A and B are shown apart, each in its own frame.
Chain A
Amino acid sequence: MFPYIPHTPEDEKIMLDSIGVNSVDDLFADIPKDVAFNKELDLPLAKSELEVTNYLNKLANKNCSTTENVCFLGAGAYDHYIPAIIDHIISRSEFYTSYTPYQPEISQGTLQYIFEYQTLISELTGLPIANASLYDGGTAVAEAALMACDVARKKKILISETVSPQSRQVLKTYAHMQDIEVVEVAMKDGITDMEDLEGKMDDDVATVIVQSPNFFGVVEDLKSSADLVHKSKKASIIASVDPISLGILKRPGDLGVDIVVGEGQSLGMSLSFGGPYLGFLATTEKYLRKLPGRIVGETTDLDGKRSFVLTLTAREQHIRRDKATSNICSNQGLNTLVATVYMVTLGKEGLREVAMQSTKKAHYALEKLEQSGKYKRVFDKPFFKEFAVSSNIDADKIIKDLRSENIIAGHHLGIDYPEFKDSILYAVTEKRTKDEIDKLSSVLEGI
């Protein structure tokens, strides 16, 4: 017997009799002989819960976790504080064992939290419409760009070199499939080069993608970029943002950005070796019927009660098939609940305080690192919670030496930007203490 399979031999007999066959094998008689797999799969036999747990514990213990080490690594995924109540709420199995809310009568819980999520993302970004999520920050950039091209009926995208290299790679993969041209806009001193952007704007450009804070942690001038892009007829601007930064920085929607996307991992999701995270997307009414993914809307039921349903489904694959705005079906469901509970728990004051503490601690860290004289800032620009410093010490040596002091170093910028091979990008969240930052500084000074 297997714990998840309830059938006794007697049950099987009753069922086979009802069907009118002699054995379970007879139920597979429709698989032709030349296709049937007549061997045993080359996998181990079933194991007990204890054996499985022991084995997986062993694998987990081979990794260096951010609870046992001090994490200054970011570059798209961040070690923010996660309130304890989040895991308790998402562990309600009425939430996590349910399917997509296609039957609204028994899915009001899911539908309502998605509606709350859409409202919160809308408030955060300063734009009126948000969808129910995309897979992650990178695919959100790509889906937003495809939507912008579709609406503008053009096939050219400009993307700043300061946008996360991963997002740019994902965009290129998606765009290639639809013969959409992707042109990179150069950077200058750690931000998008506005002259290069202006020079590359032409009538063929459907959309321009920037990121703020950008990959280097530097805050970009979204207003100037938006104004420049909108001089061109029918071109839109997409900004990828860190949601935590919106606790203090101006909302992109208020600065003229048309589509805001981003990686939502910072909103309460564990690092989990890169996923599952959350892609968010907010925009103006103009794009409502072109959005990828699910949208929840408010309505009333037969008795006039407020209720929620999946809406505008005529955009989606299960209705429109090859005419759908995207092929997305399963999205990040439960992670939108994580983000919702996070934003609600931190609330009006909390999101601001997390943003404040992160940026103040990051600025303190940069100051400390520069004091030694061995490390200097790479970009002299306003930054949020991440900054790059360079030195004449080999980056791999720095990362290794910090490792031996149980510090997870920042991201080596040379991996994606050869011109910054001596630079490391450090992330400092509200979780880091003064002692931890001081230790980082003193270890670095001693290398």
Chain B
Amino acid sequence: MRKYNKLIFELSKPGRKAYKLPPLDVEDKDISEFFPEDFINENPLTLPEVNEVEVIRHYTNLSDKNFGLDTGFYPLGSCTMKYNPKINENTARLDGFANIHPRQREGCTQGALQLMYELQNSLAEVAGMDQMTLQPAAGAHGELAGIMVIKAYHEKNGDTKRDTIIVPDSAHGTNPATATMAGYKIVEVKSTENGRVDVEALRNLVGENTAGLMLTNPNTLGLFESDIKEIAKIVHDAGGQLYYDGANANAILGQARPGDMGFDVVHFNIHKTFSTPHGGGGPGSGPVGVKAHLTEFLPVPIVGKEGDRYFLDYNIENTIGKVKDFYGHFGILVRAYTYILTMGRDGLKKASEMAVLNANYMLSKLKDDYYLPIDALYKHEFVLSGLKGNSLEVTTLDIAKRLLDFGFHPPTVYFPLIINQAMMIEPTETESLETLDEFIDALLKIAKEAKEDVSILKTAPHDTLVRRPDETKAARSPVVTYKA
């Protein structure tokens, strides 16, 4: 890793170029013939002037300052950092997929529509739902579309007093944020000591103001909500709808389906469960599935089929409308369908089995040295609560930063909020026994360091290009653009 420390603006030199266009081949008129004078910007934009070689070197050097899944183990809990297959990148770039315009006539896009139709049905089968829409752009966007569908359902029933969404205290931040954005009040249902939804507390919370419950299963602790049937009954009896946050769906492929558990709406995070790249924070994709009684509210369009012809179906009776431009993140959907075809029903099931095996194996090796607040059978991830017997001298942040020195991406830290000093570890199925053992060894070495020499942890990381950048300073006096 070179110690490269330039911004692209600092490379700029007047007169340099990184592009060449063909010469203009139509009559060269002055643009003052096209626009009134006061529409035209007479001052040139201050964009960089750089050469192509510089652009490539600059961004290659920046990439060198990044840690990707292809660099090493990335056990971020709730993020499902599984391997991103390379064939997916190739298929998304096929000319007939990458270079088609969304407004072309259906006769020109039958292959794209067929892919979307087959993906809709495949995801519906995995989810146990009746109809999917591929439109939402990300997991949180899927949540928003799904909650809007629930709201439209209550509105149609004239059930307007239902103004509250219930979320567990262990829920992802997107759940309450989504419900607020959809115009709902939020009530939290607490978890029991064994990390599951407190069923009795839920029973007391629901009522005629309950619009629905948002739940992740397995939940954010990595535990299966085994009372799910009872939870569904409580919510449904109160007149509410049950929303499945698919962030943790990688644990249950072919093992259990949200539709069979009693959920009415579900979203998948395609960039988690179905192997598409996280891209440094997107683009993702968040398809939403619903049970039959909610299909009339889905956003338009979905892909339909009539005889041999695929078409964009805008004819959804009580649709919530559109939640984004066009039909979804098609390029991401091509990758996801490539993955589903590659894995098949047997591979998807095996993926969940090995994800769960990996998590429980790591746990078995770590629980003597790290505090495990809930000793149970876990699914694809588990949550530790810092070092055992440590009176908080060494924090989870110290452990995370020290892991960087060992060449690993740290787990998700300080989430879920209900666990003190949380370290949420999700290995995924694509990691080998050897990789897991290396990571386990690093964590055990850190546990040893905590007993012998705390300072090495307190001053970590030591081997990274930058060390603990000052976040308080960044927020207190924000510098969000480059000033020459």
Stretch of B235-243, B385-393, B446-454, B471-479 on the interface side? B471-479
Residue B234 lies at the interface, judged by CB distance under 8 Å to chain A: no
* Chain A residue nearest in CB terms to B62: A109
A80 to B277 CA separation, bound complex (whole angstroms): 25
A-chain residues with CB within 8 Å of residue B330 when the two chains form the complex: 272-276
**In contact, B69 and A112 (Cβ under 8 angstroms):** no
**In contact, A324 and B354 (Cβ under 8 angstroms):** no
* Chain A residue nearest in CB terms to B144: A327
**In contact, B108 and A64 (Cβ under 8 angstroms):** yes
CB distance from B67 to the nearest CB of A (A): 4
Residue B338 lies at the interface, judged by CB distance under 8 Å to chain A: yes
A67-B95, A105-B464 as given contacts; A345 in contact with B55, CB under 8 Å: yes
B9, B126, B281, B356 pick with most chain A CB within 10 angstroms: B281
**In contact, A305 and B5 (Cβ under 8 angstroms):** yes
A169 to B473 CA separation, bound complex (whole angstroms): 40
**In contact, A301 and B470 (Cβ under 8 angstroms):** yes
Residue A181 lies at the interface, judged by CB distance under 8 Å to chain B: no
CB distance from A156 to the nearest CB of B (A): 16
A246-B41, A271-B102, A275-B328 as given contacts; A28 in contact with B345, CB under 8 Å: no
B-chain residues with CB within 8 Å of residue A341 when the two chains form the complex: 55, 59
A136-B324, A306-B5, A317-B174 as given contacts; A41 in contact with B126, CB under 8 Å: yes
**In contact, B87 and A49 (Cβ under 8 angstroms):** yes
**In contact, B326 and A309 (Cβ under 8 angstroms):** no
* Chain B residue nearest in CB terms to A46: B344
**In contact, A318 and B415 (Cβ under 8 angstroms):** yes
A103, A105, A135 pick with most chain B CB within 10 angstroms: A105
Stretch of A118-126, A183-191, A194-202 on the interface side? A118-126
Residue A393 lies at the interface, judged by CB distance under 8 Å to chain B: no
**In contact, A40 and B254 (Cβ under 8 angstroms):** yes
A316 to B100 CA separation, bound complex (whole angstroms): 35
A276 to B260 CA separation, bound complex (whole angstroms): 32
**In contact, B70 and A364 (Cβ under 8 angstroms):** no
A-chain residues with CB within 8 Å of residue B284 when the two chains form the complex: 330
CB distance from A295 to the nearest CB of B (A): 6
Q: Give residues of chain A (300-332) contacting chain B, Cβ–Cβ below 8 Å.
A: 300-303, 305-309, 311-314, 316-324, 326-332
Residue B461 lies at the interface, judged by CB distance under 8 Å to chain A: yes
Q: Give residues of chain A (33-73) contacting chain B, Cβ–Cβ below 8 Å.
A: 34-37, 40-47, 49, 51-53, 55-68, 71, 73
A328 to B284 CA separation, bound complex (whole angstroms): 12
A308 to B465 CA separation, bound complex (whole angstroms): 12
Residue B305 lies at the interface, judged by CB distance under 8 Å to chain A: no
B-chain residues with CB within 8 Å of residue A353 when the two chains form the complex: 21
A324 to B357 CA separation, bound complex (whole angstroms): 36
B415-434 toward A: CB 8 Å interface, digit per residue (1/0)?
10000000000000111110
Residue A392 lies at the interface, judged by CB distance under 8 Å to chain B: no
A248-B41, A330-B278, A434-B26 as given contacts; A301 in contact with B322, CB under 8 Å: no
* Chain A residue nearest in CB terms to B6: A112
**In contact, A56 and B91 (Cβ under 8 angstroms):** yes
**In contact, A250 and B143 (Cβ under 8 angstroms):** no
Chain A's interface size range is 35 or more
**In contact, A108 and B62 (Cβ under 8 angstroms):** yes
CB distance from A402 to the nearest CB of B (A): 11
CB distance from B335 to the nearest CB of A (A): 10
CB distance from A443 to the nearest CB of B (A): 16
A-chain residues with CB within 8 Å of residue B24 when the two chains form the complex: 356-357, 360-361
CB distance from B314 to the nearest CB of A (A): 10
* Chain B residue nearest in CB terms to A425: B103
A60-B94, A177-B182, A360-B28 as given contacts; A331 in contact with B282, CB under 8 Å: yes
Q: Give residues of chain A (71-106) contacting chain B, Cβ–Cβ below 8 Å.
A: 71, 73, 75-77, 79, 81, 83, 85, 87-89, 91-101, 103-106
**In contact, A97 and B45 (Cβ under 8 angstroms):** no
A27 to B84 CA separation, bound complex (whole angstroms): 26
**In contact, A108 and B257 (Cβ under 8 angstroms):** no
The residue that A138 contacts in the complex, of B26, B110, B111, B325, with Cβ under 8 A, is B325
B-chain residues with CB within 8 Å of residue A29 when the two chains form the complex: 377
CB distance from B169 to the nearest CB of A (A): 10
**In contact, A112 and B65 (Cβ under 8 angstroms):** yes
A433 to B22 CA separation, bound complex (whole angstroms): 9
A-chain residues with CB within 8 Å of residue B89 when the two chains form the complex: 91
The residue that A273 contacts in the complex, of B87, B112, B363, with Cβ under 8 A, is B112
A376-395 toward B: CB 8 Å interface, digit per residue (1/0)?
00000011000000000000
A95-B63, A322-B179 as given contacts; A103 in contact with B344, CB under 8 Å: no
A35-B229, A73-B101 as given contacts; A44 in contact with B45, CB under 8 Å: no
A137-B325, A274-B326, A275-B325 as given contacts; A103 in contact with B357, CB under 8 Å: no
A-chain residues with CB within 8 Å of residue B363 when the two chains form the complex: 19
**In contact, B478 and A312 (Cβ under 8 angstroms):** yes
A377 to B451 CA separation, bound complex (whole angstroms): 80
B-chain residues with CB within 8 Å of residue A97 when the two chains form the complex: 68-71, 84, 277-278
**In contact, A96 and B45 (Cβ under 8 angstroms):** no
A341 to B141 CA separation, bound complex (whole angstroms): 27
**In contact, A351 and B47 (Cβ under 8 angstroms):** yes
Residue B315 lies at the interface, judged by CB distance under 8 Å to chain A: no
B431-470 toward A: CB 8 Å interface, digit per residue (1/0)?
1110000000000000000000000000001001111111
B-chain residues with CB within 8 Å of residue A273 when the two chains form the complex: 97, 100-102, 109, 112, 326-327, 330-331
CB distance from A347 to the nearest CB of B (A): 5
A-chain residues with CB within 8 Å of residue B281 when the two chains form the complex: 99-101, 110, 132, 294, 330-331, 333
B-chain residues with CB within 8 Å of residue A66 when the two chains form the complex: 99-101
**In contact, B101 and A106 (Cβ under 8 angstroms):** no
**In contact, A334 and B283 (Cβ under 8 angstroms):** yes
Residue A290 lies at the interface, judged by CB distance under 8 Å to chain B: no
**In contact, B56 and A88 (Cβ under 8 angstroms):** yes
CB distance from B387 to the nearest CB of A (A): 20
**In contact, B344 and A44 (Cβ under 8 angstroms):** yes
**In contact, B478 and A35 (Cβ under 8 angstroms):** no
The residue that B329 contacts in the complex, of A81, A276, A308, with Cβ under 8 A, is A276
A116 to B430 CA separation, bound complex (whole angstroms): 34
Further contacts, 7 of them, CB under 8 A, given A135-B137, A327-B143: A32-B226, A65-B96, A116-B8, A124-B45, A250-B38, A273-B101, A301-B469
A-B contact pairs, 26 of them (CB 8 A): A4-B83, A14-B433, A27-B377, A32-B228, A32-B229, A42-B345, A49-B342, A52-B341, A58-B111, A62-B114, A94-B64, A94-B68, A100-B281, A105-B404, A123-B45, A130-B481, A135-B138, A250-B39, A273-B100, A273-B326, A276-B332, A330-B138, A345-B55, A350-B18, A352-B44, A353-B21
What are the 5 tightest A-B residue pairs by CB atom distance, in nearest-first order?
A: A274-B326, A60-B96, A62-B111, A274-B102, A334-B279
